Each structure stands twice: as C-alpha cells, then as structure tokens.
C-alpha cells in the first residue's frame, strides 16, 4: 500500500494536466474553485496530486476547463504506449514541462495569436537556429 507521503503518479499527472489547462486559459485557482464550489486550497491539492480527484469531480473540472476527460490522462505513466515501450512516449513530458512554465505558456499563447502562417514558420526557423547556435557554444 502506498504511503500518504508519496502521491500516486497518476494522481500527480492528472493534477499537472489540470494545472496546465487552467493556466492555458489564464484561470486562477480561486476562479476554478469557485466554479466547482470548492476552495483554491483543494485545487492546489489536486494539482499537486496530494488529493485524488474523484470521477464526478474530474468530469466537472473537464466541463469548466472545456476539455474532454481524456485530456487529463494524455501521456500518463503506465499508459499502453509507455507499457509497449514506444521510444517517443518519454519525450512527451517535455511538452507538459514547457507549457507549465511561465515562459512556455506566454510564448504559446502569443504564438497562437499570430494569424500569418509564414510569420509563424519564420519564428519556428528563428528559434531552431538560435537553439542550434546555443548547442554549438
């Protein structure tokens, strides 16, 4: 039996996905808590994985955050893709880590507002060039 001190990896993952989506929407923990009829402290516990989110609550969170429930389980540890040993599965966590950072979230929100596909492509090219130059240093 797992101890109280170490949260289940699935609970931690689901919580991090709740946080990711909430931040993508620019929603505070307080605002999400109000929509669910719970305190922001409870949201904090869900997001850290210290408290497990029940099925009905997860459905309500999904509705408020405008995503399917499956969103919270994407790239979760122990998913069939991971169990089957696909090489690309572990690399998905960097996307969640990036989008959970202040810089990543800000960059993503700004990038999707750029309507011109050529401008977006040039930005990607610029970032790739800068990353390549940084790797050579």
**What are the boundaries of each domain within the chain?**
1-92, 101-137
pLDDT value for 49:
92
Q: Return the C-alpha torsion angle 40, 70, 62, 94, nearest 10.
A: 50
Which ranges of the chain does DSSP label H, i.e. alpha helix? 9-24, 29-36, 40-48, 55-64, 80-83, 93-100, 102-112, 117-136
Q: Diameter of the chain by CA atoms?
A: 54
Q: Compute the average pLDDT of residues 102-109.
A: 82
Does residue 93 register a pLDDT over 90? no
In tens, the pLDDT along 47-65 reads 999 999 999 999 999 999 9
Does residue 103 register a pLDDT over 60? yes
Instruction: Judge whether 15 and 43 are in contact, CB under 8 Å.
Output: no
Does residue 88 register a pLDDT over 50? no
pLDDT value for 82:
47
CATH architecture of 1-92: Orthogonal Bundle (1.10)
């Amino acid at each position: 039996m797992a101890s109280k001190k170490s949260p289940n990896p699935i609970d931690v993952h689901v919580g991090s996905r709740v946080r990711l989506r909430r931040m993508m929407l620019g929603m505070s923990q307080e605002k999400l808590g109000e929509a669910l009829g719970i305190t922001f402290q409870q949201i904090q516990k869900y997001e850290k994985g210290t408290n497990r989110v029940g099925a009905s609550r997860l459905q309500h969170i999904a509705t408020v955050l405008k995503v399917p429930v499956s969103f919270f389980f994407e790239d979760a540890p122990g998913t069939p893709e991971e169990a089957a040993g696909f090489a690309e599965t572990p690399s998905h966590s960097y996307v969640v880590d990036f989008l959970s950072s202040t810089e990543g979230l800000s960059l993503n929100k700004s990038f999707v507002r750029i309507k011109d596909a050529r401008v977006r492509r040039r930005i990607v090219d610029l970032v790739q060039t800068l990353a390549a130059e940084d790797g050579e240093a």
